[in-house]
Amino acid sequence: MNPSIIINFLVATFGLIALSANALQPNFIFILADDMPWYGTAVQMEEGFKASAGQTRQTPVIDQLARDGMTFSRAFAPAGMCAPSRCSIQTGMSAARTRFSGNGNFGTTSREVTYGGRRSKGKLVLEPQPIGSLDPKQDTIAEYLKPLGYATAHVGKWHIYGGGPGKHGYDVHDGPTTNNEGNSKDPKDPKLIFSMTRKAISFMETQAKGGKPFYLQVSHYAEHNAVQCLPETSAQCMKLKGIRDITPNALRKRVAQRTAMVLDMDRSIGTLLKKLDQLGLRDNTYVVFMSDNGHHRDTGAKKFLRGNKWWLWEGGIRVPMIVRGPDIKTGSRCDVNVVGYDFLPTFFELAGGEVEKLRGVDGVSIKPLFQGKKNPVFAKRYLHFHYPHHRNTAPHSVVLQGDLKYFRFYEQPNSHYLYNLKYSIGETENIAAQNKSVVARLAGEMDRYHVAVKACLPKPNLDADPNYKPYDPDKNWE
């Protein structure tokens, strides 16, 4: 064979291999809603369970995302409130490990634990004061992806302090934003929905032109209060079948406006995804939609999940989650427990990183789930949630394994609370007394984990009010 032919063949072959290797490095778009309940979209998060879709919600773009990708029925936020949840998502660590378990001490990264505060006054335990900032020693998604060649952007709500996204690996960002920035003064840009989208599109266009893989996080302010929406969208939603018959009128208006805020966000997501198609990047991009925590507020539907924002009941941490991307079967579903702190190892592995080299993360890569594989590690693993604070709750922690969810309420030290989510998603039946061996195993796992990560735990209050009555989970269904 002519040597030149052989040389040309090798050049062409290795050139294709190089191009192929580069093409295998996908892009990521992570769309994070704010305070959206499990049933915050029109998608049934659990197939056949009508209430798992918002009966008043209009989300045609998110609906299509679900048809094109995978819907997760058991997705959990790392925490029941935004700041600790967002910190866990960024670091791949639980709130117990980050020690950023609640809001407070804003801006400090001190690892020194202090106790008490006004919310602890007179109560049986003193809450540990949380670290109020992302610890600079804890690497973020961006800091792990940049060495792999990624451009990074964080658009919208940050709310985990630490100097802002620019101090933690993000090339393009809006600074150390909190809730306040989302209260737009421009009536044509409610919750900054549309300006955020324009900035995200500009970032994508730049990376497409340069041929560089990217990680883009679009952290919406919707549907956090205050409610903002386009007037014409609100008028449209007032006429929707599921809303127009709601009484009293004040509630009807609130439901319509919140529905409109979500619909405006949905349309902006549509604009973003349309641009992704136009840039020819769809087939090599993972798109994730999720909420930072649950809530129940002006949905127009009867509440069926226990708890609310702040709590570790299902109403506070079970959230909508949809993923579309390479190798994900259209219209597929997953009923395995996953949590927001799984995304860091997942993105890292998909980008070509070695997950084994990640330092001290609690999350695991859910790449096998995207491919429809049943890996036994997911059924056996424990998910940990930690909220040892008094703000709108009683201090408590949770460990979840499969269907079984164990609670520890620190003001009820001799009581145990165990629920089977398969049979009681509303967490109404405490089955601890009938399952003492399970309780012992899960309680032991919680103790082991808290020691391992040096979790901040409440301690007895020597000045407790003798008339103080602690929260009783068996008597109070929030």
At 19 the pLDDT is 35
Among candidate residues 87, 37, 71, the one with its CA nearest the CA of residue 311: 37
At 89 the pLDDT is 98
The tens digit of pLDDT for each residue in 30-43 reads: 999 999 999 999 99
At 267 the pLDDT is 98
Q: Are 95 and 386 in contact (CB under 8 A)?
A: yes
Output the CA torsion 62→67→68→70 (10° steps). 90
Distance of CA 406 to the CA centre of its chain: 21
pLDDT band (50, 70, 90) for residue 69: very high
pLDDT (mean) for 201-206: 98
Among candidate residues 370, 366, 410, 451, the one with its CA nearest the CA of residue 76: 366
Is the pLDDT reported for residue 111 higher than 70?
no
Q: Are 260 and 229 in contact (CB under 8 A)?
A: yes
Q: Are 458 and 125 in contact (CB under 8 A)?
A: yes
| DSSP assignments along 60-124, one per residue | HHHHHHHHHSEEESSEE-SSSSHHHHHHHHHHT--HHHHS--SS-SBT-------B--GGGTTSS
Is the pLDDT reported for residue 212 higher than 50?
yes
Q: Which residues pair with 126 in a beta bridge?
A: 459
pLDDT (mean) for 114-138: 89
Q: What structural domains does the chain harbor? A: 11-380 (3.40.720.10), 383-460 (3.30.1120.10)
pLDDT (mean) for 256-260: 97
pLDDT band (50, 70, 90) for residue 375: confident
The tens digit of pLDDT for each residue in 232-250 reads: 999 999 999 889 999 999 9
The SS3 call for residue 419 is strand
| CA dist., res. 299 & res. 372, Å (int) | 33
**Higher pLDDT pick, 237 / 357:** 237
pLDDT band (50, 70, 90) for residue 8: very low
pLDDT band (50, 70, 90) for residue 458: very high
Is the pLDDT reported for residue 184 higher than 60?
yes
At 332 the pLDDT is 98
Location of structure tokens 């893989």:
213
At 9 the pLDDT is 44
| CA dist., res. 395 & res. 388, Å (int) | 4
**Higher pLDDT pick, 157 / 359:** 157
At 105 the pLDDT is 58
Within 8 A by CB and 6+ apart from 166, the residues are 173, 175
